[in-house]
Amino acid sequence: MEHVLQHVRHIHEAGYREIVLTGIHLGRYGTDLSPALDLLHLLKRLHEDECMDRIRLSSVEPLELTNALIELVAQANQRPGQICPHFHIPLQSGNDHILKRMHRPYRRDYFRTLVLNILNTIPHAAVGADVLIGFPGETADEFLNTLHLLEELPLAYLHVFPFSPRKGTPAATYPDHVPPPVVKERCRRARALGVQKRSAFMKKYLHQPVEILVEGARDLHTGMLKGVTANYIKVIMEGEDRLQNTFQTVYLERPVDAQTILGRLQTPS
């Protein structure tokens, strides 16, 4: 843990204002250390030490996203040391039969309860999900089960991936592979739903002031400043270079595309 804290302090001293904690099975951080630690304790230290303005989590497995961790994120909402209300959770499939074949240790009802618990605790949180389409044996009805679960849940965005066999994995030897054109069409439908989810999430914040961290590079397409809110809304706005790498309050005016909102600097600094 001390190595992590030292590294984060070094990054902050170099001028960075936000970090993303990432890794394979991030939620199991520290279980192999002696004495054993966990992600909750690491986040508490990062928050309490105020060694970074914003801390964001990357993907955390459903069973590793504990109530205590969710509560900490809900409480740690002041800079410096803010833990962003942004959760990315691998669902993979919304069908219990497919989840079992994937050897995933949770079921669709667990995922549904987890997402609703997060949003009941942190209503403004962004919750995104990974979805794997076309796993061997996935029927049309099983795909629809996944789609209906995603439609039902108030997710902020989706990352949709087609199944592709990887040599040496059990799934590569499974029978009943879904034909590629079918996988492609199912992915298209899931991605279209993801666009709807993203749009609906962003629209909740239109005509409101939000805080963004202005990034150090301008938007490639418009040349405008760009930044992101703690709950992962991407914003572009007019402004001078001196605003880069600073936190600014921005009034959200209108969507630019499915991913981005146009903002207006509310309190020039």
Please tell me the predicted confidence (pLDDT) of residue 169: 82
Domain end residue (candidates: 157, 172, 203): 203
Q: What is the C-alpha separation between 213 and 230, in angstroms, rounded?
A: 8
Tell whether 198 and 220 lie within a shared domain: no
Please tell me the predicted confidence (pLDDT) of residue 149: 98
Among residues 73, 87, 79, which one has the least CA distance to residue 201?
87
Please tell me the predicted confidence (pLDDT) of residue 266: 85
Tell whether 172 and 239 lie within a shared domain: no
Please tell me the predicted confidence (pLDDT) of residue 24: 87
Please tell me the predicted confidence (pLDDT) of residue 141: 97
Domain hosting 248: range is: 209-265
Averaged pLDDT, groups of 10, the chain, 269 residues long: 95 97 93 93 96 97 97 94 97 97 96 98 98 96 98 98 88 88 98 97 96 96 96 97 97 94 82
* Alpha-carbon dihedral angle through residues 254, 259, 265, 269, given to the nearest 10 degrees: 170
Strand, helix or coil for residue 237: strand
Question: The CATH number of the domain where 239 resides is what?
Answer: 2.40.50
Domain end residue (candidates: 188, 203, 218): 203
Tell whether 181 and 214 lie within a shared domain: no
Tell whether 215 and 185 lie within a shared domain: no
CB 21 within 8 A of CB 64: no
Tell whether 193 and 136 lie within a shared domain: yes
Question: The CATH number of the domain where 139 resides is what?
Answer: 3.80.30.20
Tell whether 126 and 236 lie within a shared domain: no
Please tell me the predicted confidence (pLDDT) of residue 168: 82
pTM: 0.94
Domain end residue (candidates: 153, 174, 203): 203
Alpha helices per DSSP H over 50-130? 67-75, 96-101, 108-121
Tell whether 156 and 253 lie within a shared domain: no
CB 218 within 8 A of CB 225: yes
Residue 29 CB neighbour total at 10 angstroms = 21
Q: What is the C-alpha separation between 70 and 64, in angstroms, rounded?
A: 11
Tell whether 141 and 230 lie within a shared domain: no
| 191 dihedral zone (left: phi>0; alpha: psi -120 to 50; beta) | alpha
Among residues 69, 10, 12, which one has the least CA distance to residue 41?
69
Tell whether 67 and 191 lie within a shared domain: yes
| pLDDT tens, residue by residue, 130-148 | 999 999 999 999 999 999 9
Tell whether 98 and 143 lie within a shared domain: yes
Tell whether 59 and 176 lie within a shared domain: yes
Please tell me the total count of domains within the chain. Answer: 2
CA dist list (Å): 33 to 37, 88, 234, 241: 7, 25, 37, 44
Q: What is the C-alpha separation between 197 and 201, in angstroms, rounded?
A: 6
Tell whether 114 and 213 lie within a shared domain: no
CB 126 within 8 A of CB 155: no
What token pair was written down for 50? Answer: 């105020």
Please tell me the predicted confidence (pLDDT) of residue 85: 98
